[in-house]
Structure 1
Amino acid sequence: MNILSEKNGAVRIISVIGQINSGNAAEAETQLLAQLQQGDTYCVLDLAEVDYISSAGLRVVLMLAKRQKQNAGQLVLCRLQPHVHEVFDISGFLSILSVAPDRTAALARIAQVPVST
């Protein structure tokens, strides 16, 4: 598993490559939290290159979403492969997480969030 990160304006875009499973979920959580420690309120998690996610991986994603919400931010997932999308659907996570078909839609979804001053 590899994690890449980039900025698009005020949004941190994190791409995960490989699998998120019970063997690497703790490492994934540590690396993803480190990305969010940079103070980014809005984050897009691009899962286009994730070919497998286990229940441990789902827990990591849910934890990230909760962390962002606690910090008055937002996490939007995008580009889920069909079988990964199905795992999120079966688990019921699609009803509690924000998911977009691509990066453009994910960024647009975040842009709709009112910014408090």
Structure 2
Amino acid sequence: MNILKVKDKDCMTIALEGRLDTVTAPEMVETVKELDCKELVVDLEKLEYISSAGLRALLVCKKAADQCGASFCVKNPTQPVFEVMRMSGFDKVLTIQRD
């Protein structure tokens, strides 16, 4: 998995590419350990697959954002990833922006 982390003023965007699973989820969680922004966006436009470990990583990111008072959203999930999120109820827990 490739992770691109971009910080622009008060917004941090983490763009993921490939698979977010048991092997790659810890790397993503590590990127938000010292969160210092007002908005955290996780861009899933190029994510092909997400497992339950990946879903958990998204919750960890949301919790990190909540703890520092930042807003959190998931942006542009691919259809297969969105379906997993929808079937697991994550579309009710996370703010998801779809273009």
Q: TM-score, normalised by structure 2?
A: 0.90
Q: 2:10 and 2:32 mapped to 1: Cα distance?
A: 17
- In structure 2, relative to structure 1, the CA distance for the partners of 1:59 and 1:38 (3 Å cut) is closer
State whether structure 2 residue 50 is matched by structure 1 residue 40: no
2:61 pairs with one of 64, 72, 85: 64
TM normalised by structure 1 equals 0.78
Structure 2 counterparts to residues 1-117 of structure 1, below 5 A: 1-30=1-30, 32-34=31-33, 37-102=34-99
CA contact (8 A) 2:35 2:68 kept: no
Aligned length: 99
Relative to total residues, which structure has the larger helix share, 1 or 2?
1
Segment of structure 1 superposing worse, 2-11 or 12-21:
2-11
Large movers: runs of 4+ above 4 Å: none
Amino acid at match of 2:79: P
Distance 1:83 1:54 in 2: 11
Q: Which ranges in structure 1 are unaligned for 5 or more consecutive residues?
A: 103-117
Higher mean Cα deviation, 9-18 or 82-91?
9-18
C-alpha distance after superposition, 1:29-85 (max 9, x if no partner): 22x224xx2511211110011100000000000110011112111111111000100
CA distance change for structure 1 residues 27 and 6 in 2, over 3 Å: closer, same or farther?
A: closer
Identity of aligned residues (%): 31
Whose strand fraction is larger, Structure 1's or Structure 2's? 2
RMSD: 1.4
Task: Point out where structure 2 has 5 or more consecutive residues left out of the alignment.
Answer: none
> Residues of 2 paired with 1:14 and 1:25: CA distance?
13
**Structure of greater Rg:** 1
